[in-house]
Amino acid sequence: MNLQEKVKNLPLSPGVYLMKDSKGQILYVGKAKSLKKRVQSYFQNSKGHSPKVKKLVTHLKDFDYILTDTEFDAFMLECHLIKEIKPMYNRMMKSPQSFIYLAINVNKQLPSFEISYEPTESENRLLFGPFTSRGTVERAITGIKECFKINCGHSSIKNSACLNYSLGTCNGVCLGGSAIDEYNLVIDRVIRFLSRTDINLLEEMEAMMLVASEQFDFEAAAKYRDWIDMVKSLLNKEKVIEFTEENNHIITIEKLENNQFKYFLINRTQILHSELVQIDDNSFDQLADQIHSNALTNFKSDNDPSSLDVSRDEIDEAQIIYSYLKSNNCKYLIVPKRWLSPKSTKLQKELQTLINSFK
């Protein structure tokens, strides 16, 4: 069977595809909600393809695929396979340096922002992340510096103005005096923002964008908009990390076609158990009983990694799981440790309520 014929015979169901060269080496791993539509796209509209895709297609001689029950299964399987196989065309997740951290060195005369590949935190070095895009982090920090006029061109107080002071993006901290206190106040606000205890910094940036727009300075407004998007992405990544560290036991249920349900028991960033179940109108309680029994078996209250920070090895799975929970594809239940006691009936009741909501 030639390649085009093989593509035509692909199903429309979700899954993972593995692109291979003439020697059978896997070049690229991808996931799809519809395998047929996604793989077909590689052989159509070549003008719209990125240089990477165009080059991939020239080496593409065969492909394999793995069917999954849901798109979420496909996301998680793709992530696992990329880390295991490390295909040459999958740039993300390939190298430990795909993940970076934003460090704020508060021990300097002028606290500074630094990009780091190592998750090393100390009393005088605050660490945020990991993040997956160095460019996003750098643009976000540039936006904060310019918006709040802390983009000083000097690394220390020199009693002489830096170039950025004349450009209006440095408050004069290089000259000393009260500007030092103003500078440190902004740094403190950034720390609170990244710690998600105060988001006023973002609201103030949005106000600046509105003022620029009202003054018909659309170039400045567009610049603020781009910076705001970058800053929001930092906050979102911190949300993912915080959620993952705080919620270790999660049950998700997704309704598929023909009264089929897929449920997952998730511990932090690992799927401990999943099952596809066919039920009728009279077996909702049986599904609740089944999930409850498996939850008590798989969720061990004495095996709690909540004290551990999310590592660079977990961030991809953490993002996939968080996005799945926040989508409209599933309903979920966060399970506190106290519900895992054999004497507790809370988990059983909450599961019944959750499953009955599908009726």
**Mean pLDDT value of segment 41-50:** 77
Range(s) within the chain of domains with CATH label 3.40.1440.10: 3-94
Mean pLDDT, rounded, of the chain: 86
pLDDT value for 304: 54
Q: Each residue of 344-354: pLDDT tens digit?
A: 899 999 999 99
Q: Each residue of 28-40: pLDDT tens digit?
A: 999 999 999 999 9
For the chain, the three-class secondary structure string (H helix, E strand, C coil) is CCHHHHHHCCCCCCEEEEEECCCCCEEEEEEECCHHHHHHHCCCCHHHCCHHHHHHHHHCCEEEEEECCCHHHHHHHHHHHHHHHCCCCCCCCCCHHHCEEEEEECCCCCCEEEEECCCCCECCEEEEEEECCHHHHHHHHHHHHHHCCECCCCCCCCCCCCHHHHHCCECCHHHCCCHHHHHHHHHHHHHHHHCCCCCHHHHHHHHHHHHHHHCCCHHHHHHHHHHHHHHHHHHHHHHHHHHHHHCCEEEEEEECHHHEEEEEEEECCEEEEEEEEECCCCCHHHHHHHHHHHHHHHCCCCCCCCCCCCCCCCHHHHHHHHHHHHCCCCEEEECCHHHHCCCCCHHHHHHHHHHHCCC
Report yes or no on whether pTM surpasses 0.75. no
Q: Each residue of 234-278: pLDDT tens digit?
A: 877 778 888 888 888 999 999 998 889 999 999 989 999 999 999
Q: Which residue has the higher pLDDT, 151 or 70?
A: 70
CATH architecture designation of domain 3-94: 3-Layer(aba) Sandwich (3.40)
pLDDT value for 195: 83
Q: Which of 144-158, 274-288, 311-325, 343-357 has the highest mean pLDDT?
A: 343-357
Q: Each residue of 197-236: pLDDT tens digit?
A: 888 888 889 998 999 899 898 988 998 898 898 888 887 7
